Amino acid sequence: MIVTNKTRYTVVLCLFALAILTGCKKEQEHKEEQKSYCISRELKKEMILVKAEMRPVEESITLTGEVESNSDKTVPFVSLVDGVVTDTYFSLGDYVRKGQTLASVKSTAVNELQGDTQTLQAQLAVAKRKLSSVEAMYKDDIASQKDLQEAKSEVAILQSNISRTQKNMQVYSAGGNTIQLKAPADGYVIAKNIAKGMPVTSGGDQLFTIANLDKVWVMANVYATNMRNVYVGQPAVVKTLAYPDESFSGKINMISQVFNENERVLKAKIIMDNNGMKLRPGMSADVVLPVNPQNRNALAIPPKALIFDNNQSYVLVYKDDCNLSIRPVTEIASNSRYSYVELPKGQKMTWAGEFESKERAASQLSMVVPVSLILILMLLYFNFGNIKDTLISSVTLAFAFVGGFISLWLTGTIFGISAGIGFIILFGVATIDGIVLIGVMKENLRNKLSLTEAIRRGVESRIRPVVMIALMGSMGLLPAALSGGMGSEIQKPLAIMIVGGLIICMLLSFTVLPVIFYYAYRKSSRGGHHG
């Protein structure tokens, strides 16, 4: 049967009419649902959209606390001499090494230390001679065991005093009337109470404190109401204001057994690795502890998404730029990552996102798509007059289906109402490709050409019109497919579906359809019957 322009126009007009009627209906429904306020593009850039999910409820409590240095590796420094500070060589927070000079003190104690050392050395020499005499007398049974022990003890005490005095001389690095105060250990200066011109006294206040901060303590405040939820070995997450987006993991190592007299709290100690030196003594911290695991699920949202006003919690539900609604919710639990909420009794949750789009498209297009496919098959049968050619030509519908979904997948576009309407239009244009190619190939067979020659000439003669059909549809909708402005979420899926589907369908029509036609007419071509 010869393909006529009238038949082609009938196919296109029917399908376009069906698509336009469907689109008008959906557009009307969309306008009815549209709210009076639409968010601007600039505001949308500042928004963070998250999808609510059903998750197991994991409740937690948050304790206040403070970062402290590890007292096992903290060295306070107290002056052992009287004098006046002449200079300092460090600042609070500096890292110092053992033996590094930190300050200079003018003092008359230098001569006293040197005199003490000489006196002790003289006393030690006398004590050693006495010990030698007692040992000899002990061997001759003249001295007792007690006399020998007393002599040895006297020598040991004097040696200890000399050693301590020499160490003090080394630490203070005495020279003239000036004593240099040196760091007793490696670490950071976490406290400083010394300044130039300040008088210092022996055994007085601490002048500075040095601490190793490779490990620090986080001391959390445990109130009486939290005691039943806090235990040794419990996992803990530490958060600080300095690093709001970063968490530090540890566990509770110790809980004091006596309430602090001033704050009326127990202290829970968490030993933390501090490799990055982000935790500093004196820094405030929040300690998050998991409690009360529950075997139930609830709607989980980020804590920042919860709006509290007038003793009621709310969430802002986003469907599209012009469809926003405020929903009251009840917070049932929370932790550092999620707030768990419930809707008021009688309300239902509408799930937004890809799932909702697919469900809505499936229900609204469940009648339109089957009707359009039946209409296409009927028109194909009226055009060809036999089932074989109708089935061969309907293969282009599969090409359109594959091409459309490939283009959606490549662009990451969600299938929805707009894409469904694009499918209907794409089916119509793809059908024209099949009618054009199959019609000319059958005409060539009737003109006594061999099957392969009929297919070759048919494809060659119809490349231009088929390509022009694809290009006209694609170029016309290309701006809509590339758009990103207000309202593009409605027109963009339709344009992507048609542009990508037409190109892929055209390529498959020139490559796969001739092969199918060849195998369908191979036997009838040998018998000379071409329908």
Binning pLDDT at 50, 70 and 90, where does residue 32 land? very low
Q: What is the DSSP letter of 225?
A: G
Give me the architecture of the 5-43+359-527 domain, per CATH.
Answer: Up-down Bundle (1.20)
**Which residues face 211 on adjacent strands?**
74, 188
Least confident of 84-88, 169-173, 391-395, 412-416: 169-173
- Which pLDDT belongs to residue 486? 56
The neighbour count for residue 50, using CB atoms within 10 Å, is 11
Domain ranges of the chain: 5-43+359-527, 53-58+296-352, 214-291
Binning pLDDT at 50, 70 and 90, where does residue 285 land? very high
Please check the confidence at residue 319 and state whether its pLDDT lies above 60.
yes
Cα 390 from Cα 438, distance rounded (Å): 10
Cα 440 from Cα 457, distance rounded (Å): 9
Binning pLDDT at 50, 70 and 90, where does residue 376 land? confident
Cα 416 from Cα 364, distance rounded (Å): 10
Cα 318 from Cα 329, distance rounded (Å): 15
Burial (CB count <10 Å: 0-12, 13-18, 19+), residue 234 = middle
Q: What is the DSSP letter of 203?
A: T
* CATH among 3.40.50.1100, 2.40.30.170, 3.20.20.70, 1.10.600.10 for 214-291: 2.40.30.170
Quickly tell me which residue has 């499936």 as its tokens: 362
Q: Does domain 53-58+296-352 have CATH number 3.40.50.12780?
A: no
| Angstrom distances, CA of residue 169 to CA of 15, 112, 117, 149, 209 | 103, 11, 10, 30, 20
Do 353 and 360 contact (CB within 8 A), yes or no? no
Cα 414 from Cα 435, distance rounded (Å): 31
Do 242 and 179 contact (CB within 8 A), yes or no? no
Do 396 and 430 contact (CB within 8 A), yes or no? yes
Average pLDDT on 461-478 reads 81
Cα 481 from Cα 79, distance rounded (Å): 79
Average pLDDT on 444-454 reads 86
Report pTM: 0.41
Handedness of CA 12, 15, 17, 19 (dihedral sign): negative
Least confident of 31-40, 70-79, 296-305, 450-459: 31-40
Per-residue pLDDT tens over the stretch 39-84:
777 777 677 777 777 777 777 788 999 999 988 889 888 887 788 8
Per-residue pLDDT tens over the stretch 264-283:
899 999 999 988 888 989 89
Least confident of 8-12, 119-123, 255-259, 437-441: 8-12
Please check the confidence at residue 207 and state whether its pLDDT lies above 50.
yes
Per-residue pLDDT tens over the stretch 354-372:
445 555 556 666 777 788 8
CA angle 47, 53, 58 (to 5 degrees): 110
Whole-number average pLDDT of the chain: 78
Do 53 and 165 contact (CB within 8 A), yes or no? no
Do 113 and 169 contact (CB within 8 A), yes or no? yes
